[in-house]
Amino acid sequence: MLLRILLLLGVFALGVLGAEDFYKLLGVKKDASERELKKAYRSLSKKFHPDKNPGDESAHEKFVAVAEAYEVLIDEESRRVYDQYGHEGIKQHKQGGSPRQHHDPFDLFSRFFGGSGHFGHSGGQRQGPNMELRVAIPLRDFYNGRVTEFEVEKQAICSACEGTGSEDGHVETCDACGGRGARIQRQQLAPGLFQQMQVQCDKCNGKGKTIAHPCPVCGGSRVVREPEKHELHIEKGMPLGVRITYENEADESPDWVAGDLIVHLAETDPQYGQQDHERTDGTFFRRRGKDLFWREVLSLREAWMGDWTRNITHLDGHIVQLSRKRGEVVQPNQIEIIADEGMPVWHQELENNAGEVYGSLHVEYVVVLPDQMEKGMEKDFWGVWEKYRKKSGKLLDDEWGRPKEPIVMPSADDHDEL
Ligand SMILES: [Zn+2]
Ligand SMILES: [Zn+2]
């Protein structure tokens, strides 16, 4: 009896599992757009692909379920049926025979990533070339962290013909070469002397297949060039040159599994933006590793006499205050190191950099002397200088013992006696 209950429970659990909501399965909202569905399928099908989870039955089941959910939701008609009647409705709809349902999850996968639906490291499947891309972002985003987007143009499998190159889906074996893509040509070089050459079949251009009605979108080439958007997660303090890999997002082709798209993070030249938060002093900080560098200009009076305050706006808008009291001198090119006002230190293991550690902000003081003065002011200053020069001034040349006349070098002819 107990066993029967357990069995029943098991069946019940399976039933629930099998009927997981398609939207939930793909992690999208009820009103998800075509683009969102495709994006969800792209990332989930890679994650659960059996080649990446060898021996993991539940991953395999997920892979199949994700494909089914995608195919139901991407088709307007079956999505309507699903929204109204749920899984039961879809079952009946499928029995009615819907031409766009593919049933083979590997086939669907290959329409997204090329090849035969498997990854390069299993089954001898060839992987296409990787694509490298440099994406430049402002220093502000490295400091604050940000989720942004970038667009890349790539070769994609034509979705109109699903990579067949044929408008009606029919692809015939080339009758000129029998599908080999090449023919043997016999050429007479001299009487009785022949050469046999293998040449590419000109009827099918070496493909071995012909298409009676080429796809109007890709012209039969099976691929198109199109822009694709990717999300870019910039974590606080990420270093320059860090490589972010988007698996299987490089150029696609039915002949191979798409390679990886590799993004190198670079920094844009600093410039003021339109919005307030893009107009902070921090925009012009220079970064070296975890430290930031800044030049602050002081007047002669400030550098010498003190009594000044400066508010530097940092990359996230907070203020770093610099100041000196009266009598505190700052030497030209003096560097003040302010702890914890540099870059956040990037740590891959920390979720969004919890428990942040920061580098330092190095402020270099530049002192600017006035090159013009009011006449009266000049006279006053001169008077003060003269007064103190007469009283306690020293000639530094004399202090340092410098000669009054040039020093004559010994001539090249003079040898030292050995
Ligand atoms: Zn041929
Ligand atoms: Zn096409």
- CA-wise closest residue to 108 among 66, 51, 73: 66
**What is the rounded distance in angstroms from the CA atom of residue 296 to the CA atom of residue 368?**
10
From ligand 1's centre to the CA of 200, what distance in Å? Answer: 8
**What is the rounded distance in angstroms from the CA atom of residue 236 to the CA atom of residue 140?**
10
What DSSP letter does each residue of 386-415 carry, written as one string? HHHHHHH---HHHHTT--SSPPPPPPTT-P
From ligand 2's centre to the CA of 217, what distance in Å? Answer: 5
- Summarised one tens digit per residue, pLDDT across range 330-343 is 999 999 999 999 99
Over residues 31-53, the mean pLDDT reads 91
From ligand 2's centre to the CA of 214, what distance in Å? Answer: 8
Helices of type H across 96-167: 105-113, 139-144
Residue 180 scores a pLDDT above 70: yes
Q: pLDDT at position 10, please?
A: 42
Cα-based torsion angle of the residue sequence 248, 99, 72, 245 in order, rounded to the nearest 10 degrees: 0
**What is the rounded distance in angstroms from the CA atom of residue 85 to the CA atom of residue 92?**
10
Over residues 341-367, the mean pLDDT reads 82
**What is the rounded distance in angstroms from the CA atom of residue 367 to the CA atom of residue 332?**
5
From ligand 2's centre to the CA of 200, what distance in Å? Answer: 24
Q: pLDDT at position 266, please?
A: 94
From ligand 2's centre to the CA of 224, what distance in Å? Answer: 8
**What is the rounded distance in angstroms from the CA atom of residue 418 to the CA atom of residue 415?**
9
- CA-wise closest residue to 300 among 333, 330, 336, 325: 330
- Summarised one tens digit per residue, pLDDT across range 125-153 is 788 999 999 999 999 999 999 999 999 99
Q: pLDDT at position 417, please?
A: 64
- Summarised one tens digit per residue, pLDDT across range 199-218 is 888 888 888 888 889 999 99
From ligand 2's centre to the CA of 160, what distance in Å? Answer: 5
From ligand 1's centre to the CA of 284, what distance in Å? Answer: 62
In percent, the amount of the chain with pLDDT more than 70 equals 89
Q: pLDDT at position 11, please?
A: 41
From ligand 1's centre to the CA of 354, what distance in Å? Answer: 62
Q: pLDDT at position 362, please?
A: 98
384 three-state secondary structure: helix
User: 197 falls in which pLDDT band (50, 70, 90)?
Assistant: confident
Proximal ligand: closest to the CA of 168: 2
From ligand 2's centre to the CA of 110, what distance in Å? Answer: 15
Average pLDDT, the chain: 86
**What is the rounded distance in angstroms from the CA atom of residue 120 to the CA atom of residue 132?**
19
User: 7 falls in which pLDDT band (50, 70, 90)?
Assistant: very low
DSSP letter, residue 238? P
Q: pLDDT at position 126, please?
A: 82
From ligand 2's centre to the CA of 169, what distance in Å? Answer: 10
Residue 36 scores a pLDDT above 60: yes
DSSP letter, residue 257? B
Residue 367 scores a pLDDT above 90: yes
User: 17 falls in which pLDDT band (50, 70, 90)?
Assistant: very low
- Summarised one tens digit per residue, pLDDT across range 302-317 is 999 999 999 999 999 9
Residue 415 scores a pLDDT above 90: no
Question: Among 111-120, 175-184, 308-317, which range has the highest average pLDDT?
Answer: 308-317
Helices of type H across 75-171: 76-95, 105-113, 139-144
Tell me, rounded to whole angstroms, the distance of Cα 206 from its chain centroid: 37
**What is the rounded distance in angstroms from the CA atom of residue 376 to the CA atom of residue 200?**
93
Over residues 180-192, the mean pLDDT reads 84
User: 101 falls in which pLDDT band (50, 70, 90)?
Assistant: low
Proximal ligand: closest to the CA of 156: 2
Question: Among 8-22, 38-52, 85-99, which range has the highest average pLDDT?
Answer: 38-52
Share in percent of the chain as helix, strand, coil (round to 5): 30, 25, 45
Cβ proximity of 260 and 249 under 8 Å: yes
User: 12 falls in which pLDDT band (50, 70, 90)?
Assistant: very low
User: 121 falls in which pLDDT band (50, 70, 90)?
Assistant: low
Pairing of strands 291-299, 361-368: parallel
Question: Among 25-34, 178-187, 265-274, which range has the highest average pLDDT?
Answer: 25-34
Lowest-confidence segment of 110-119, 239-248, 363-372 by average pLDDT = 110-119
From ligand 2's centre to the CA of 295, what distance in Å? Answer: 57
User: 91 falls in which pLDDT band (50, 70, 90)?
Assistant: confident
CA distances from 95 to 88, 349, 364 (A): 11, 49, 76
Can you tell me which residue has the tokens 């902070």? 280
Residue 353 scores a pLDDT above 60: no
Over residues 260-287, the mean pLDDT reads 90
